[in-house]
A and B are shown apart, each in its own frame.
Chain A
Amino acid sequence: MSPEFIQTLLLTAKLALSTTLILFVIGLPVAALLAFTRFRLKVIFEALINMPMVLPPTVIGYYLLVAFSPQHAFGGFLERWFDLRLAFSFQGILIASVIFSLPFMVQPLQNGFVALPKSYREAAYTLGKSKIETFFRVLVPNIKPSIVTGIAMTFAHSIGEFGIVLMVGGNMPGETRVASIAIYDEVQSLNYTTANQYSLILFLVSFLLLVVIYSVNKRFRV
């Protein structure tokens, strides 16, 4: 295996791990907000979060690329104040990946929270516990299968993402070239052996993650 091959796989793992970690932190409060509160414009908020499920990745990729461009407000602001260029950088594909995988984390967590009996929350309140303490000590520990599903789905989805990463990051070795893009690139160069190695690894990782989800959920059901 060439150093470039390993570098690409490490970058893919780094992207997927960072995306999953960031989304877990963001996903818990967002899912709780959607599950437990009613507010005006909630449907709009919910629809926006789930847009990546139905939208072609290239559409979000295109908008992000435009937003990241220094000629536009957001990109210009980042460059002037932080000397940061997000287009064609690892940070750029990380943000894109976080946005694109958001529903894969939020949906399982939200479903988990909705399925919990309301009496858990109310019991914790009558036992003197604040909303925050109830959330971390009662609600979150009781949606473990949903947490495992959310983490595994987000990780698997981030590993496999192609369109949005290509749009925002291009194909720069060591910076934005992840395994899914490398597969396409190797096939274009008729380099089927390397494409095959990448594909097999992605296949096995995704398969393993799904096996983990199903076995964990089965264990919790019993």
Chain B
Amino acid sequence: MIYIDVERKMLTTDGPRTLEVCVEIPAHELVCLFGKSGAGKTTLLRMLCGLFTPDKGVIRIGDRTVFDSSKKINIPPQKRNVGYMFQDYALFPNMNVEENIRFAQDVRNVEEIEKLLHTFQLEQLRRQSVNRLSGGQKQRVALARAFARKPEVMLLDEPLSSVDIELRQSLQNEILKTHELFQSTTVMVSHDKEEIRRLATNVLRIGKEKITAFEKPTNL
């Protein structure tokens, strides 16, 4: 479960405005954030994982308060147990596929790595430099790396924006399968209505007004 009730000032092309969100995302849901460019979708994701600090409000993940401006609580991203998959995947070129995944572990666990490599079909690529991977392979490594920490919450920032249409469908399946397998609460940014209808259990439309309620994906 994620409870979020925050405000943050943002600079947009239409001038400054305040992003206001007050929602509760039930556990194990796959929620899509939908809205125009610059509406604040990535800002919201970044506040959830601790890379951005809200101006005020409260964020709770499970029964843990990770941010509370009135009590001056602000748990850093390192300790939030929130996985984040970046738009550019942010794989480290100085490490091969297996090393990238191993980097996420605090204590080395070979068995766990093998399981992840198997789940994401990366066994054949384990020694491969990440620079030589295709877009789809990169996404699988980024997902495996983020899930290596067994996060309660998984955030995906436009994961499919840079892949072609044919690949997109198989990667959507990958995300769906992973979400079901790891049973995490997933929040994903997407522009693609078709994609949202396929993947999301609920949608948060990010616009100029305060965001307080979900929409059904079929309503888009």
User: Which residue numbers of A lie inside 8 Å of B, CB to CB?
Assistant: 117, 119-120, 122-130, 137-138, 141-142, 144
Contacts and interface: CB of A to CB of B under 8 A. Distances in A.
A204 B177 CA distance: 61
A122 B157 CA distance: 13
Nearest to A125: B77
Interface stretch (B7-15, B65-73, B90-98, B191-199): B90-98
14 contacts: A119-B90, A120-B90, A123-B86, A125-B50, A126-B50, A126-B51, A126-B78, A126-B82, A127-B149, A128-B78, A128-B104, A128-B149, A141-B92, A141-B94
A184 to B, nearest CB: 44
User: Of A117, A122, A137, A142, which is in contact with the most chain B CB atoms at under 10 Å from its CB?
Assistant: A122
Contacts of B146: 126-127
Contacts of A130: 78
A5 B146 CA distance: 60
A141 B82 CA distance: 26
B49 interface: yes
A122 B78 contact: no
A119 B86 contact: yes
B88 A117 contact: yes
Taking residues whose C-beta sits less than 8 angstroms from the other chain, chain B's interface range is 20 to 34
Contact of B92 (A122, A128, A142, A144): A142
A146 B83 CA distance: 31
Q: Closest 3 CB pairs between A and B? A: A123-B90, A119-B90, A141-B94
Contacts of B82: 126
Given A125-B76, A127-B149, A129-B78, A119 B88 contact: yes
Contacts of B145: 127
Nearest to A118: B90
A86 B83 CA distance: 54
B94 A128 contact: no
B102 to A, nearest CB: 11
User: Of A120, A123, A137, which is in contact with the most chain B CB atoms at under 10 Å from its CB?
Assistant: A123
Given A117-B90, A122-B77, A126-B50, 8 more contacts: A120-B92, A123-B90, A124-B92, A125-B76, A126-B82, A126-B84, A137-B103, A138-B94
Contacts of B164: none
Nearest to A127: B104
Given A125-B78, A126-B84, A130-B78, A142 B93 contact: yes
Contacts of B80: 126
A85 to B, nearest CB: 45
